[in-house]
Structures are given as C-alpha cells and as structure tokens.
Structure 1
C-alpha cells in the first residue's frame, strides 16, 4: 500500500512538473492571426489555438484556464515570436488585440468618414450614418447638436477589426475630450458658445489650409456675423448637398440657391452644426481670431486668399485677378 501511495505521489508530482514545464515552455510562432468571436467557449478557443500552431497542447491550456477561472476576451489577435501557453492565455485574458490604423484628416465630414470606414473594412457606412446622424445617440454622450459632426477629431486612431459602432464612436470621442474640450473651456470665447466656436472652426478648416490665414478668415466670419450679413461660404452649400446625396463634385450658381439651413447663401447666421472635422490649431485660431476690417475674401490659386474691406474693393481685386 505504501509503495502504491508513493508511486501515486510520484506520478502526481511528475504530472505537475510536466504541466508547469509545458505551460511555461516557449516556442517560436510565425505571425498568425485569429479571431475570437463573442460566445466562443474555452474549448473552442483552445482548439483554434492548437490548429493554428499557436499552442502545442490544448489540454494544458484548458487546465490552466480552469485553474484561473476567468473569461477570455473576444477580438482579433496576432501571435508572433517566442510565446508560452501562459503568454498566449495572458494576451487573450487582457484583450491585447491586433489594432489597425484609421486616419481622419482635417476637413473630412461624417459622410467622408463613413465611406472611408467601409472602404478600409471596419464598418458598413450605413451602420455608421444611422448612428452618427441620430440626435438620440448624441444625447447618450450629453453632446450638443443634431449629429456627431465636428466631434471626431482629425487623428490616426487604432481600431480593432470588425468593431461595433459604439466602440468606434467612443474611440473618436475619447480624443475629442482629451484634446478639444480643454481648449473649448477657454474663457476667451468672444461671447460665443463652445458649440458655435466648433461650427466656425469647421468653416475655417474648409476655407483654408494655411496656418497664417486661419485667424484672419475667422475674423472675417466674426465681422460678417456682427454686421448681420450672410456668410456666403461655398463649403456650407456643398455640405447641404452631400447630406441629401446631390453633390456631384462641381458647384454651380444654381446650387447656391439650394434650400437648406446649412446654405449660408440663403440663410443668415451659422449653419446648425459644424460641417466637417477641424484641427486643434484651427480651433485655437477661431478663439484667437485676428481683428481686421475685412469682410470679403477670395482665392485665385485655390490656396492663398485675397482680402478686402468693402464689396467695391473686393470686385476690383477679382476683376484684376480674373481679367
């Protein structure tokens, strides 16, 4: 009996040693991607890992998972290099997914962003539009406006593959709260609300890419608002047309009459929401706009603008520039 007991203890100790050895043994893995979907059991996960060559012994993975008693996170993972079963388990437990870059550039609007998300394989644009143009969804985050336009900063983000819409929106908003809200809490808002500053920033972003011009154009917009003049900004017409699927890439005189609250040729004041994303630089340029007597501007080369104080001066410069 004692011999049997001693042999049993020996086998048990040997099993533990072998288990721990296999658990901590590292083997080289070539870059291998797997997707763990919601609802996958530990057994399913261990089978996938073994079939892909990420682990060599799924029994050890299963036992270790049972000992830990914690769930593994769904997601898209890439395993590469020298990893042990314990390393693999930790990666799945902590949700260290493989992330993919997604860039929003200054001046892109929600329609542009939706198309890009679909093109790059993240999300169907219809799902994106349904969510971001909903006032009810906006209320979930206690944000002002009719849509999320202006709340998604131009930046390179790292997103998981096949993300749900709320994950995408929360990722974009995290950057807004970190980089934009502190600027919008400035006491130097010239009597305008933070949301109005955002709208003006989007107009400036669409009008110029030149850093030195941004505070000047912001000043022109402020001057026209104070005088009760229509802003007459072409990108607002383009945005109005894009919202209803009528923008064809060419702005005509007839389009300037398009009836929309966004059309600043038809309606006075600011459009109801921003019309695009905008950089922090542009936001600061609006808050610290340059005070001038300018009321008009145009561009000859599509880049640099020519400014005027009166309409007569404006016409003279245009005639001289476009004889």
Structure 2
C-alpha cells in the first residue's frame, strides 16, 4: 500500500511541476509579449506610489492583462524600487516589460502638461502645451509674453498643479543680459539671479526644472553645460586656426551665430572670418557694432548709422583689428563647432541673397556685384514688389 501511495504522490508532484512550469512559461510570455492597449494613454505615477498601486492602475487602464504578473516581473528584474513619479506615454501594444522600463526608467515625463519658457533674441514667451496621447502631438493651451502682459488665469491654474512639468529653453544667439532679465520674470523660480554671467558662457539648450528652483542654480547649470561643450569641441578643433584659446574661439562662434541662422552656412561664414584674420583684414561685421551700441541689452531696432560705423569702440570691427574683446551672444554648439572647424574656402565676403541665406565671394568685384543684386531686391521690396 505504501508503495502505491508513494507512487501516487510522485505522480502528483510531477504533474504539479509540469503545471507550474507551464504557468511560469505562460506568465513570462504575458510579461514580454504584446500588451492589450488599443490606443495610447498618458499614465501618471504619483509621487510616493507603490508598485502594486501602479500595477493596479495600469490594469484598470487596460494597459496590462495582470497586475500580479506586472508586479512579479518588475520584482524579478530588480526594478520594483525604481519607480519615478511623472506622466508617461504608453503606446498601443507596449508589453509589461516595456512599461516597467518606462515607469522605472529615467524619470523624464513623456506626456502630460508642460510649461516652456522660451527665451528668444527678439522676445520671450511662456507656452503651455498638453500632449494628445492618441494623436501623439502637443496641443497649445496658453501662450503669453511675461514682459508684456500678466499671466492669464488659465496659466495660473495649470502652473499651480504639482504634476505640470516646467522647462526653460534658451534660443541660440541670446545675450546673457537677456537671459537674466527673462529669468527675473519667471514666477516659478526663486532667489536672486545675481550678476550677469560672462557673455557667451550660457548654453542655448532646454532645461527641465522644478517649481521653486533657484535662479542662480539654473544659471550655474547653463554655464556648466556651455563650458563642457566648449572643452569638448576645442579638443576636436582643426589645425592652424588664427586663434589660440577657447575664449577666442567662443568670440568667433558668437559672431557666426549672429551672422546666419542657416545651419549649413555656419562653417562657410566662419571660413570668411578665418580667412580675413589670416590675411590681416578687419572683420567688418555689423553684429559686433550693434553689441557695442546695445551692450547686449536688447535689440537695436534700427539700422546702423554711418557715424556709428566710424566710431572707434572695442566692438567696432570696422575700426579695430582682429576679434572684439568678448563674445557678443551665447552661441550654440553648431556655431562653436563651425568656428573650430571652418569650411575650407577662399571666400572673403558675403551678403544676404534675399532668401534668408547668403551669397559668398572671393574678390571685391564679385562681392560688389552681389551687393548690387541685394540692393535691387531690397528696393523691389520697398516698392511693394
């Protein structure tokens, strides 16, 4: 009898092991296989949320088939304690494994509502956008210029929501004074900005911050990123440049930045100024003259007068030799790279071509013909043509 009992026990044990193995394999397929979600959703992970709460929330939204399998899989991968608060875009068909990677990944929100304070050369604005998860595009909700108008009530309500993301974005070519003045108007920041940072040493970039962040700390982060970029790009520079230090290269980069907004032109524009320096020619660039007049405190808003072109200032490159003493704006990485790796050309001149770009010339005669064409285009525009 005992032999029969032992045999039956072993049989049952084998069956249970087979069933367990089957359940385990099935659970694994459920975890890594395509998920049930039919259309994209924006899923919020609250601050301090537990894994089981997130799992149940995903199951309620129809993003996972089993909260239990989701939790066990996250535990097995060692990501159960890595949840990051935020709002995350979950795409149709995302597996449980992929969703775990999303909610326990970088912590950078990928959907929801965001405030973006865009600091530009001519003006700045605050834009509130919300991601339409289904269409996978942002929809603008509010837009205003804090320098010109009070914040609308819609913005105030959104800004007070703890889940709203906040970014500050610097355009290429802004001056350090413009950045500081704009940050003074950012109600979501705290603390004094302090002295205006050295010109050229704030990185045009997008900075994700938290409400209540310190202005001085944000400026320090902008400076840290710019200096890191300069050091990295300086190490990759071309040989035989007519400037010996990263500081001089940054001055050149700022001139390139202000001379053209066409990315592919930047190395060519840089080549013109490099060729002039090599030949001992004056740079004769209007943006440096304008900086000498405005000190980087806003735009000139008018044409340069002939008397201003003749007046000797540290920034009037029609009068002084070589580079001005400091950068004239904060250049982006592309302009820094162009200054350190200019195109190989014989160009010494360039002028606007009427399309937003420039036409380049090797000789003064050729340049004068190009200038005449540009003046004809300007005259035609002035006549309403």
Interval of TM-score (by shorter of Structure 1 and Structure 2) = 0.5 to 0.7
Moved over 4 A (4+): 96-99, 122-125, 160-165, 244-247
- The 3-state SS of whatever aligns with 1:100 is strand
Question: Which aligned pairs between 1:116-135 and structure 2 lie closer than 5 A?
Answer: 116-121=182-187, 128=193, 131-132=195-196
TM, length-normalised to structure 2: 0.50
> Which residue does the alignment assign to 2:205?
155
> Which residue does the alignment assign to 1:305?
358
Alpha-carbon distance in structure 2 between the residues aligned to 1:122 and 1:203: 33
User: Does 1:102 find its partner at 2:168?
Assistant: yes
- Structure 1: 5+ residue stretches without partners: 1-23, 29-95, 134-147
> Which residue does the alignment assign to 1:236?
288
The structure where helix makes up a greater share of residues is: 1
User: Does 1:272 find its partner at 2:325?
Assistant: yes
Q: For residues 288 and 247 of structure 1, do their structure 2 counterparts lie closer, same or farther at Cα, with a shift above 3 Å needed?
A: closer
User: Does 1:201 find its partner at 2:267?
Assistant: no
Return the offset for 1:278.
1.5
Query: 2:168, 2:206 within 8 Å by CA — same for their partners in 1?
Result: yes
> Which residue does the alignment assign to 1:184?
234
Q: For residues 172 and 234 of structure 1, do their structure 2 counterparts lie closer, same or farther at Cα, with a shift above 3 Å needed?
A: same
Query: 1:190, 1:287 within 8 Å by CA — same for their partners in 2?
Result: no
C-alpha RMSD over aligned residues? 3.1
Q: For residues 151 and 98 of structure 1, do their structure 2 counterparts lie closer, same or farther at Cα, with a shift above 3 Å needed?
A: farther
Return the offset for 1:97.
11
Alpha-carbon distance in structure 1 between the residues aligned to 2:188 and 2:213: 6
Q: For residues 231 and 158 of structure 1, do their structure 2 counterparts lie closer, same or farther at Cα, with a shift above 3 Å needed?
A: same
Deviations 1:114-138 (A, max 9, x none): 232123336799x64x6135xxxxx
Q: For residues 189 and 117 of structure 1, do their structure 2 counterparts lie closer, same or farther at Cα, with a shift above 3 Å needed?
A: farther
> Which residue does the alignment assign to 2:130?
none
User: Does 1:115 find its partner at 2:181?
Assistant: yes
Alpha-carbon distance in structure 1 between the residues aligned to 2:222 and 2:324: 23
- The 3-state SS of whatever aligns with 1:322 is helix
Alpha-carbon distance in structure 2 between the residues aligned to 1:247 and 1:25: 49
Query: 1:106, 1:277 within 8 Å by CA — same for their partners in 2?
Result: yes
Query: 1:117, 1:124 within 8 Å by CA — same for their partners in 2?
Result: no
What count of residue pairs does the alignment treat as equivalent?
Answer: 216
Deviations 1:69-93 (A, max 9, x none): xxxxxxxxxxxxxxxxxxxxxxxxx
Alpha-carbon distance in structure 1 between the residues aligned to 2:189 and 2:231: 27
Query: 2:178, 2:296 within 8 Å by CA — same for their partners in 1?
Result: no
- The 3-state SS of whatever aligns with 2:216 is helix
Return the offset for 1:152.
0.8
Alpha-carbon distance in structure 2 between the residues aligned to 1:149 and 1:290: 26
Q: Give the number of the structure with larger relative contact order, counting CA–CA contacts within 8 Å between residues 6 or more apart.
A: 1
Query: 2:170, 2:206 within 8 Å by CA — same for their partners in 1?
Result: yes
Q: For residues 283 and 246 of structure 1, do their structure 2 counterparts lie closer, same or farther at Cα, with a shift above 3 Å needed?
A: closer
Query: 1:261, 1:272 within 8 Å by CA — same for their partners in 2?
Result: yes
- The 3-state SS of whatever aligns with 1:131 is coil
TM, length-normalised to structure 1: 0.59
